[in-house]
Amino acid sequence: MIRGLHHVALAVRDLGQAAHFYAETFGFGPPEKTEVIPEQGVRAGLINLGNAYLELLEPTREDSTVGRFLTRNGEGLHHICLETDDVDAELTRIAARGIDLVDSVGRQGIAGMIGFLHPRSTGGVLIELVETGGAGGAMVEFDGRKLRVLIAKPGLDGHDRGAKVVARALRDAGMEVIYTGIRQSPEMIAESALQEDVDAVGLSILSGAHMELCPRVMQLLRDKGLGEVAIFVGGIIPDDDALALKAKGVKGVFGPGTTTTDIIDFIRATVTPQK
């Protein structure tokens, strides 16, 4: 069953600039969710219009589908998306009518399971179907839970101005942030991550002990079944150490020049809610 319009998608060269245009011109809020989808070479943002969404699609590489669309057509309307209870059943039903599909079964998209019909069967309109899991309330289940981030300061240094600045910025960006305070042991941090049910842990380490503390925290998280929780670290970390930490599974390493926007963008692009 089709429930209605979920979103209209636009191909844009600059997602931030396009979102700004819609905010300034019509008073819409910023995108509720922005996500990089590497396989599709696209960064997608969803702006809530009240009864449907506007999806802004910015290519991350020229040879992606949206990149080629922009080269061919310039900016403009890209596709419309209809909401359904069951994307696979709809795709099967539509295929049985002799309509060509891009996707014969659903796959994961920014707002839920999606599948596309081919424009050669639809009068030139690219039509997407989405199954969000919410009863008409698009995005609610997928995105209704805010990202939860633990900001922790392991080790002996007592300078937590940077950690506090990051905690506040993430909160202002709409995330739920738990700050542990200074001089936490790796055990205390892993326990907080478990208790607080977080999606990501940010470690602020100025003591120089990052090569001991990061792997230790990660091991303790794995021991608690939290191996999927994304770890990022900020501090004064030499390039070689940064590479070594990333090789061990640290998702992001941020040095002194990092802006809070860099960290917010990183979290939005990298971290997915655990449940």
Query: Which one of 33-41, 48-56, 134-142, 231-239 is the stretch in contact with Co ion (CB under 5 A)?
Result: 48-56
Scanning residues 51 to 110, which ones bind Co ion (CB under 5 A)? 55, 81
In the bound complex, what is the minimum distance in angstroms from residue 79's beta carbon to Co ion?
6
Q: Which is nearer to Co ion, 81 or 166 (CB)?
A: 81
Q: Which is nearer to Co ion, 81 or 213 (CB)?
A: 81
Counted residue by residue, the chain has a size of: 275
Between the CA of residue 188 and those of 11, 153, 191, 233, 253, what are the distances in Å? 46, 10, 5, 17, 22
Query: Which one of 8-16, 138-146, 191-199, 204-212 is the stretch in contact with Co ion (CB under 5 A)?
Result: 8-16
d(CA 81, CA 51): 13
In the bound complex, what is the minimum distance in angstroms from residue 73's beta carbon to Co ion?
17
Q: Which is nearer to Co ion, 55 or 199 (CB)?
A: 55
In the bound complex, what is the minimum distance in angstroms from residue 26's beta carbon to Co ion?
20
Through-space distance between the first and last CA atoms of the chain, rounded to whole angstroms: 27
In the bound complex, what is the minimum distance in angstroms from residue 97's beta carbon to Co ion?
22
The CA dihedral of 8, 12, 16, 19, to the nearest 10 degrees, is: -30
Q: Which is nearer to Co ion, 126 or 193 (CB)?
A: 126
DSSP state of 147: P
Q: Determine the number of helices (DSSP H) and then strands (DSSP E) in the chain.
A: 9, 13
Question: 3-state DSSP call for residue 236?
Answer: coil
Q: Which is nearer to Co ion, 80 or 169 (CB)?
A: 80
Quick one: which of 9, 126, 163, 233 contacts Co ion (CB under 5 A)?
A: 9
Q: Which is nearer to Co ion, 105 or 236 (CB)?
A: 105
Q: Residue 79 corresponds to which tokens in the numbers above?
A: 């596709």
Q: Which is nearer to Co ion, 2 or 243 (CB)?
A: 2
Scanning residues 121 to 140, which ones bind Co ion (CB under 5 A)? 128
In the bound complex, what is the minimum distance in angstroms from residue 9's beta carbon to Co ion?
4
Scanning residues 156 to 175, which ones bind Co ion (CB under 5 A)? none
Extract long-range pairs of 225-231: CB within 8 Å, 24+ residues apart: 226/190, 226/193, 226/194, 228/274, 229/193, 229/198, 229/199, 229/200, 229/201, 229/274, 230/199, 230/200, 230/201, 230/267, 230/270, 230/271, 231/200, 231/201, 231/202, 231/203
d(CA 88, CA 232): 37
In the bound complex, what is the minimum distance in angstroms from residue 129's beta carbon to Co ion?
10
Scanning residues 211 to 240, which ones bind Co ion (CB under 5 A)? none
d(CA 19, CA 16): 5
In the bound complex, what is the minimum distance in angstroms from residue 219's beta carbon to Co ion?
40
Query: Which one of 5-13, 28-36, 86-94, 235-243 is the stretch in contact with Co ion (CB under 5 A)?
Result: 5-13
Residues that bind Co ion (CB under 5 A): 9, 55, 81, 128
